[in-house]
Amino acid sequence: MKQLSLPLDFTNSHSQEATWFQEILEALKIKDKSVFPDKFGLSIRQWLDKQNYAPIKTLSLFSGGGGLDIAFHDAGFDIVQMVELEDKYVKTLEKNSISGKWLENSQPICIDIKDFFPSTDLQVDFIIGGPPCQSFSAAGRRAAGVSGTNDSRGTLFKEYVRLLKKLQPKGFLFENVYGIIGSQKGKDWQAIQDAFKNAGYKIYFRILDAADYGVPQHRERLFIVGLKEGNYLFPYPTHGPDSPGQEPLITAKDALIKVDTSESIEEGINGKYGHLLNDIPPGLNYSFYTEEMGHPNPVFSWRSKFSDFLYKADPKMPVRTIKAQGGQYTGPFSWENRKFTIAELKRLQTIPDAYEIVGNRQVCIEQIGNSVPPQLGRILALSILDSVMAVALPFPMHYLPENKQLGFRRRKRQLTKIYAQKAKERIIFLNKNPKSILIKKGATKEQVVRYLSDDFTWSKHQLSQSTKINIEYELNDNCWVIIAQSAEIQENQNEFVIDVLPCWGNENWVLETDKVKLCAKQLDIHLFTALWKAFEEKLLEITGMADLVQLSGYYQYSPKITGIMNFEGELKADILWRILQSSVRGIGVAKQLSASELASLWGVAPKNIFSYLQSLRSIGYEVRNHNTNSQIPQGKYLIPYAFPTLTPRSVQLRKTLGNINE
C-alpha cells in the first residue's frame, strides 16, 4: 500500500536553527535523544543538586502511581508526603521511595483524603495533584452528560481546597480532564474557580496536549496553577509546530528504541474481535470496519464504540491517550498486531525505565493510564521553578502569551483526514480481494437447539437455570425466517411474528435478503428473547457483524432497522406484550423519558411504568435511569434499543433500577 506523506506543517519541518528543545539538551549535555525523558529527568536533578537553593517542600495529593511526583522530584521539588487512597498504588510509591530509588526520601501515606489531617508542624511551599476524573470524563459525556460534582468523586476538589486553606502554600498545580470545563453547562467549572479564589489563590489555566511537550502520546488535559502572589504564564511547547524552532514530535517508534525486551510478548489478540486487528491500518480503530468508512463487510456501526476500541498505534506518530481502564479490545495495540508490554507503555507515558510499577498487568496499566506523563510534568515544574520560585536554570524558558492559541485541535482534524485516506486505500485493496459472505441463491435450512440462561447466556450446551429452545432457520435472498419454540412441542401456528426491515433510506442493508421474520410458536417471553439471540447469532455467523446494535446503529443516531410485531388472532395476554410491540417499533426507545411520558406512549397507567421497566430488564432489554447512570436526571428513563441487548458481559446487568421512589 502506498504510504501517505503528511503535510509540512504536520511533520514539523523546521529550519537549521537550533530549537528550544535542542538548547535544553545541549545545556544538560544530553547527546543521545533515545530515552531522552529519563536522561532529562536525571540531568535536571543532578544539576539542581549542585546548586545552592532551599528545597521546595511539596505535598502530593491523589498521587496514584506517581507521575507528577516523578516530574516535580526531578525538577528539584522535595516531595515530603504523597497521599493516595488505593493500597495497590501505594505499594508502587513505597517501592520507589526507598534509598537509591527514583523518589527516595518521599513518604507515601495510604489514606482517604477526607481523613487526611496534616500535623501542625507540616509546612509546604507547593501542592500538586489532581482528583479522580471519571465524573468529568468522556465516558460520562457518552452516557448522556457529565455527572461532574453530582458524583462524589467530582467533589474531591473541595478536599484539595481544604488543604490549601490549612497549609497555605505559595502555590499549587491541579490536573484534570478538560471535560471539567463543560460539566453541568459550566456551573461546576465556575464553582471550582470560585473555590480556589476564595482560598486566596489567583488561578491560571490551560488545556495542554502532552505530545507538545516531548511525550510520544496525544493526551489533552486541563492544568490549573494557583499562586498566592505573582503571575504565571504556561511554558511554550518544546515539540511540534507551536514550539520555538518547531522540534518534531516524538513518535511511538522512536520512543521504543532500546526498550527492555525481556518481558514476554503475547502474540495476537484473542477473543471474538481479535482477528480484526490485522487488517486495521496503523492509526485507525474499529471504525475501519464501518459502512461510513466504506468497508465492504461492515462489522460495527458508526461511533458505536469508544475510540480506543481496536485502536492500532501508528509508529510514525505519537499514540492516542493510554487509558487506565478498558476491556480486552482497548488499545493502543502495537502496529505489530499485539498488545504493548508494560515496559513499552511506560516509555509511551515517559515513566522512567528504572521506576518500578507494582502489581499485575491490569494494575500496572491503571497506574500508567491515570498518571500525568512525567515529561510534561517536568516542563511545567521547571516553569514554576523559574517564574515562581526564582531559581535560575541553565537554559532559557519560553512562555506562552496569555492569549496565544495552540494548534493541537486543528492538527487533530488534519490527522483525521489523513487516516480516512489510509482507510480508503486499504478498503480498495479489500474490495479487490473480497471475502465472500453472501448467501447463495436458493434456500438454506437448518434446525438447532439452543439454551437461554437467566443471565442471557445463549449457548449450544445446557447450563444451570437455562431454557431449552428449538430454533429453525430458513434463509434465502428474499427473507430470513427464524422460528423458535420451547421444548419438543411442534406447533403449526405462529403466536407472534416480528418483521425486521431496513429503515427508509438505509441503502446499505448488509443482509443479502429483503427482510427477516422472527416467528414464535408459543406466546412465551423466553421465545421473544431467544428469537433476537438467534437472529444475532446468524448475523455474526454470516456477515461477521458484531451484534444487533451494529446492524441498527448506536442509539443516539437514527436507527437503520425497524421492527413490526404482530400477533395471531386476538391477544388475550398481559399488557406487557403490547409494550413489547411498541418497543420493537421504537416507541418509547432511544430517548430519556419520564414515567408519565412512557405511560402516554404505551397506553398504560404511570404508576405501573416502573414495574413494566423491571419486566423489560428481565427479558433482556437495557433500561437505564439515574440509579444506573448518574448522568440521567432523576425521574427519567432510557431504553437505548428496540430489542433486548443484555449479555452476561453487560455492565448494566450488574446494576439495578433501585426502587420506584429512587
Q: Looking at the annotation, which residues are catalytic?
A: 133
> Are 77 and 58 in contact, with CB atoms under 8 Å apart?
yes
**β-sheet with 202-209: strand ranges across:** 108-110, 77-84, 56-61, 126-129, 171-176, 220-227, 202-209
Q: Which of 301, 207, 342, 251 is nearest to 556 (CA)?
A: 301
* CB neighbour list of residue 449: distance below 8 Å, 6 or more residues apart: 460, 468, 469, 470, 471
Cα 567 to Cα 577: distance, rounded to the nearest angstrom: 10
Please calculate the CA angle 649-652-657 and round it to the nearest 5 degrees: 150
Return the biggest CA–CA distance within the chain. 94
Residue 185 DSSP class:
G
Give the three-class secondary structure for 556: coil
Q: 3-state secondary structure string, 286-350?
A: HHHHECCCCCCCCCECCCCCCCCECCECCCCCCECCCCCCCCCCECCEECCCEECCHHHHHHHHC
Cα 57 to Cα 46: distance, rounded to the nearest angstrom: 18
State the CB neighbour count (10 A cutoff) for residue 594. 15
The Cβ-side half-sphere exposure at 191, using a 13 Å CA radius, reads 16
State the CB neighbour count (10 A cutoff) for residue 98. 11
State the CB neighbour count (10 A cutoff) for residue 500. 25
CA distances from residue 22 to 31, 32, 72 in whole angstroms, order as listed: 10, 11, 21
For residue 11, report the phi and psi dihedrals to the nearest 5 degrees. -85, 0
Q: Which residues pair with 300 in a beta bridge?
A: 290
Q: Which of 77, 158, 88 is nearest to 124 (CA)?
A: 77
> Are 646 and 652 in contact, with CB atoms under 8 Å apart?
yes
For residue 601, report the phi and psi dihedrals to the nearest 5 degrees. -70, -35
* CB neighbour list of residue 465: distance below 8 Å, 6 or more residues apart: 453, 454
Q: Which amino acid is at 56?
A: I
* CB neighbour list of residue 586: distance below 8 Å, 6 or more residues apart: 559, 562, 563, 642
Cα 269 to Cα 272: distance, rounded to the nearest angstrom: 9
